[in-house]
Chain A
Amino acid sequence: MTKASAALLDVTGLRTRFHTPHGIVQAVDGVSFSIQRGQTVGIVGESGSGKSVLARTIIGILAKDGSVTTTGCLAFEGRDLLKLPEREMRDVRGKDIAMVFQDPMSSLNPVKRIGAQIGEVLKRHLGLRGRAAETRSAELLASVGISLPAERLRQYPHQLSGGMRQRVAIAVALAGEPKLLIADEPTTALDVTIQAQILDLLRRQQLARNMAMILISHDLGVIAGRADAVAVMYAGQMVERASTRSLFHSCCMPYTQALIRSAPKLPDPPHTRLRAIPGRPPDMLRPPAGCRFNPRCDYATDVCRATQPMLSAADADGTHLYACWHPVGGHGVLP
């Protein structure tokens, strides 16, 4: 398939298990998707659905002490990152794949100057040091919209606001000129007014650099206008995957529908009750049998409680996939 061979990252059957004293947690359970150069894939799901673990699995920064096992295939430009020795993987991290974390208050080292935190990436991956690294760092800061970049380099994170720190974190991620940027809820910890600025900044940088991006959020609104494709995660599994347009127009999975409906809408009169999803995400130590969403699903029947649905195509070319026995929106039989 030509599409697959052109993919920058091809994730197939990825599983990440945490071995805890209480048992095994399947944080990522058989996730597959691919991302092309310059493309944005949005990943949505509630807290605890495995989004962040997926991100950390891809960039390979989970514990290496045997408490975490990962299986499947992570083909990045044809190389399986899971089979790469740690030493070679270190050359991939920060250079080919970079990451922006959720909370800029805690993701920058509080006792290191901004300049040093950008500079170490330049030194590690591009061999830049001294004045060259300083000039490049200042350029990076300027490109993410930070004023007086040369002076900021000498400052510490606590001297900057939250929005500024996230810009610095983005500059750090861009320093190695990555081909893939993983943004793990990059705006969740920020003020609403700053959120759009940061998302637009990410979008601009992505277009300018022809960089692929995995944009993780629990907020479909964040993803809606910015991702080419969206994957919905629930309890460690990918339950629906489609182009953004297709997902918003004709979602199949009741969970996706519930996510879309639970977002507040501007035309709603004030004090309209939000359509929250009843119940809680499942206990990942003992996930429910069958479809993992069945205890919270309005459409659940006996087959949902007994057998797990496989991903199946909703359209002719197989770009819209969903895992549900009773898909909504006309793609299947409604109960």
Chain B
Amino acid sequence: MLEKKEDALYEQLRAIVSDMKNLRNPLIEILHQAQKLFGYLPMEVQRFVAEELEIPVNKVYGVVTFYNAFTMKPRGKYVINVCTGTACYVKGAPRIIQMLSEILDVELGETTEDGIFTVTAVRCVGACSLAPVFMVEEETFGRIETRKQLQEIISNYRQKV
């Protein structure tokens, strides 16, 4: 069953690549689409893209590992992006990260066992006035200070699942 679903995803990816193949430098956009499809970019997907685009796989791997937006590990349904830009850092980003990892029992960059949350650090998200800031999907949370506030936000997302 799983295999069938995967096959269908690869077929979709093949179509995406063939649509975009002739654009100038299509690799990054294709990888975005691939990540949307698969949720992450495992080696097999990278090799598939390389083969379909007729470029060596080392080029794909270099790009995937360079950009924060790409991940080679499956991510949770919700990715908590904690801003570690200068302002947020000074205003307590490390503490936010520490609290989140305690509450969710994960290290930075890891995903919870139930596959719901991933905690990652990002550079400045441009909302310094709200520091410390983190984002979940498109939503921004600012000036969070207590463990209780965090627990509340997390349980709200848990309920959505």
Q: Do A and B come from one complex?
A: no
Interface residues of B (CB under 8 A from A): none
